[in-house]
Amino acid sequence: MEHFYSEDELAFKGAIREFAEAQIKPLVTKMDHEAQMDPNLIKQFFEMGLMGIESPEKYGGAGSSFFNACLAVEEVSRVDGSCGVLVDVQNTLVTNALLKWANEAQKEKYLPKMAREWVGAYCLSESGSGSDAFALQLKAEKKGDKYILNGHKLWITNAKEASLYIVFATVDKSLGYKGITAFLVEKTFKGFSVGKKEDKMGIRASSTCELVFENCEVPAENVLGEVGKGYKVAIETLNEGRIGIGAQMIGVAQGAFDATLSYIQGRNQFGKTISQFQGVQFQLSEMAISLESARLMVYHAARLKDAGKPFVLEAAMAKYHSSKVAEKVASMAVDLFGGNGFTKEYPVEKFYRDAKIGQIYEGTSNMQLQTIAKTLLG
């Protein structure tokens, strides 16, 4: 595996793994049970430099690569998918959108905060706009030097912890998707509040909440990009974000695989470890092959993004495949643990629950297939 990485990347990956094992792992069961991220852990993410990996050093970030951001997501998710998606949304969605679309004043104001203390959230989905992402009902009306936002967002990751929200609203419904505009909304803005928190099957420590906008006042200077160009901000950022979800999924799959590899070498049946049975060896091999193929696809898409080359097709393929692999590997892990795998005393049932979301958020598997087909057909 080492040949996949430069020396610096390998050292970075190793440091994140050590941190995840030492600081995150002891909290995983408690956070999952309470459906609550440990706030002190989030502070440590900032201290480790995990929350502004691509941000230039002049804004307080690490000035590193998108690939390294994906390595961080993978290694954190290997221990806990909830922590993995918090780091993922921060880097591959929110920070990436700011780096690409924010003007200099916005970058100077927000990027240092995002690198050092503020969690970010990316707010596109609504009750009637899931896969139909641009059927938005959240309205934005210009009044003087402000926009007034009214409506709701649903299923927003990091909603509870966030201080900055990239919010998509329509300034003119008659224009369809060309009326959509992206806004930078701070948690303290008048008329904004975080609503109901969802009670989820997996990634339970990751907050997923409703957002409420009741005459929410947003300064006109907080438009991200241009008025009416929010659809471009959304599409291009999500293309990058799908690679991040791919990294989360290979991390979850790796965690399930590692736990299984250890378990089968210590579990005895019929006078020998179950790892000595050929049938178990075949299953282990299938898991390893699937995981390796997914990792290669995610890494390839991330390398293309860093190189400034087209990556939309590869990102969709990587997201689709890695999410399927995560579910498959985690399911086989539960099988190989037997009855123990079905209990919360062992880690694989959580990996199984955490894996399922990969086929749903940031573009369902069906939407990835549609993107792949459209790209292939030109």
Helices and strands counted in the chain (H then E): 12, 10
How far, in Å, are 55, 129, 143, 257 from residue 249 at the CA level? 24, 24, 43, 12
Contact yes or no for 264/280 (Cβ under 8 A): yes
φ, ψ of residue 79 in degrees (nearest 5): -100, -40
CA distance 322 to 253: 9
Residue pair 127/153 in contact (Cβ under 8 Å)? The answer is no
292 catalytic? Reply is: no
Do residues 83 and 242 lie in contact, with contact meaning Cβ atoms separated by under 8 Å?
Answer: no
Residue 316 token pair: 């969709």
E strands in the chain:
119-123, 139-143, 146-157, 162-170, 180-186, 192-197, 208-219, 223-224, 268-269, 272-273
Tokens of 252: 């979850």
Note whether 87 and 42 are within 8 A (CB).
no
CA 234 to chain centre: 15
Answer yes or no: are the C-beta atoms of 344 and 350 closer than 8 Å: yes
Whole-number Å distance between alpha carbons of 106 and 113: 11
Q: How far is CA 296 from each of CA 4, 176, 232, 243, 261, rounded to the nearest angstrom? A: 9, 38, 28, 12, 21
Catalytic residue among 210, 240, 349, 362: 362
- The three-class DSSP label of residue 281 is helix
171 and 179 Cβ atoms separated by less than 8 Å? yes
Catalytically annotated residues: 362
